[in-house]
């Protein structure tokens, strides 16, 4: 399993597990819990969730899944922008900790930028670190200009930026990703297969067939081989988790990268950061 390094030197698997849209159907709960536990067993020990997902239901599901496994898991959660103030962020964090059944969050993110001043959010995050409630903090869905403001507001200890990034969403490659790389901040790529829509692309299907892989595995391998990227696909079944895990063994060569560049061109100008 490839690893990615945060600015403080912490290494995590480059292939983790997302939980967006989990815990929404009770009949799937057992399968989703089993999927997360299987992912941990296979080395996909980074699990990403958020207080927004199911209004806390996904965090509760993650808490159930990691019971007895907490010390093996790198746990990521995210706070709503309206909860990112010095008074509300500690309350949100405590609620997330309770749902997750843990005493600390390994990485706590601002989910997207809202009306709370970035300097206040930085202060609130740093206080949570001092209190031992979180071990490090970062952001999500912030573009280059936002990141520059964050640093100017005292956010030099920001660990990552979680963004929408996949073969069909390459806009961040022009400016944002190089900016992050210069500061040793890894990218966390959410929706790495565009919620499944990417898998119908004929070029991706052709490469997958040639390599004896699935389109999803090729799309994930493309991210994993870039370095400095953590992909967090969601999988609601054990079989799907195993398919995702096998992507780490798929090796794309120069030919495949060139084909993918032709099918999904790099940006030649700045593109505003997209989010879904």
**Residue 1's pLDDT band (boundaries 50, 70, 90)?**
confident
Nearest-Å Rg of the Cα atoms of the chain is 18
Q: Residue 137 has what pLDDT? A: 98
**Which residue ranges make up each domain of the chain?**
3-263
Residue 53 designated active-site? yes
The active-site residue out of 53, 108, 165, 190 is: 53
Residue 231 pLDDT > 90: yes
Q: Residue 132 has what pLDDT? A: 98
Residue 151 pLDDT > 90: yes
Q: Does 3.20.20.100 match the CATH number of domain 3-263? A: yes
Which residues contact residue 49 at a Cβ distance below 8 angstroms, ignoring those fewer than 6 apart?
19, 58, 59, 62, 75, 76, 77, 78, 100
Distance in angstroms (rounded) separating the CA atoms of residues 98 and 58: 13
Q: Render pLDDT for 180-203 as a digit per residue (tens, 0 to 9).
A: 999 999 999 999 999 989 999 999
Residue 153 pLDDT > 90: yes
Q: Residue 59 has what pLDDT? A: 98
The two structure tokens encoding residue 224? 């994993």
Work out the percent of the chain whose per-residue pLDDT is above 70: 100
Strands (E) located in 147-248:
158-164, 187-190, 229-231
Q: How many CA atoms lie within 13 A of 224 on its CB side?
A: 28
Residue 18 pLDDT > 90: yes
Rounded average pLDDT over 71-100: 98
Rounded average pLDDT over 20-26: 95
Q: Render pLDDT for 45-56 as a digit per residue (tens, 0 to 9).
A: 999 999 999 999
The answer to whether 139 touches 79, Cβ cutoff 8 Å, is no
Strands (E) located in the chain:
3-5, 11-13, 46-48, 74-79, 107-110, 137-140, 158-164, 187-190, 229-231
Average pLDDT, the chain: 97
């Amino acid at each position: 399993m490839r690893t990615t390094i945060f600015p403080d030197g912490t290494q995590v698997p480059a292939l983790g597990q997302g939980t967006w849209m989990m815990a929404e159907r009770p009949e799937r709960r057992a399968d989703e819990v089993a999927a997360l536990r299987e992912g941990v067993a296979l080395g996909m020990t980074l699990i990403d969730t958020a207080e927004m997902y199911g209004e806390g239901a996904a965090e509760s599901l993650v808490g159930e899944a990691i019971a007895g496994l907490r010390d093996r898991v790198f746990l990521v959660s995210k706070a709503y922008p309206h909860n990112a103030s010095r008074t509300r962020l500690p309350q949100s964090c405590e609620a997330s900790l309770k749902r997750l059944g843990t005493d600390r969050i390994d990485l706590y993110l601002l989910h997207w930028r809202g009306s709370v001043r970035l300097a206040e959010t930085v202060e609130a995050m740093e206080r949570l670190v001092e209190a031992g409630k979180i071990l490090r903090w970062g952001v999500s869905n912030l573009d280059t200009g936002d990141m520059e403001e964050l640093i100017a507001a005292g956010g030099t200890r920001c660990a990552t930026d979680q963004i929408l990034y996949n073969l069909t969403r390459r806009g961040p490659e022009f400016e944002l990703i190089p900016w992050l790389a210069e500061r040793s901040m890894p990218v966390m790529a959410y929706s790495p297969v565009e919620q499944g829509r990417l898998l119908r692309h004929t070029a991706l299907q052709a490469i997958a067939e040639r390599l004896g892989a699935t389109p999803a595995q090729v799309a994930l391998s493309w991210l994993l081989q870039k370095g400095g990227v953590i992909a967090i696909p969601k999988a609601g079944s054990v079989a799907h988790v195993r398919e995702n895990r096998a992507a780490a063994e798929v090796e794309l060569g120069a030919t495949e990268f060139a084909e993918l560049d032709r099918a999904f061109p790099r940006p030649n100008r700045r593109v505003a950061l997209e989010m879904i």
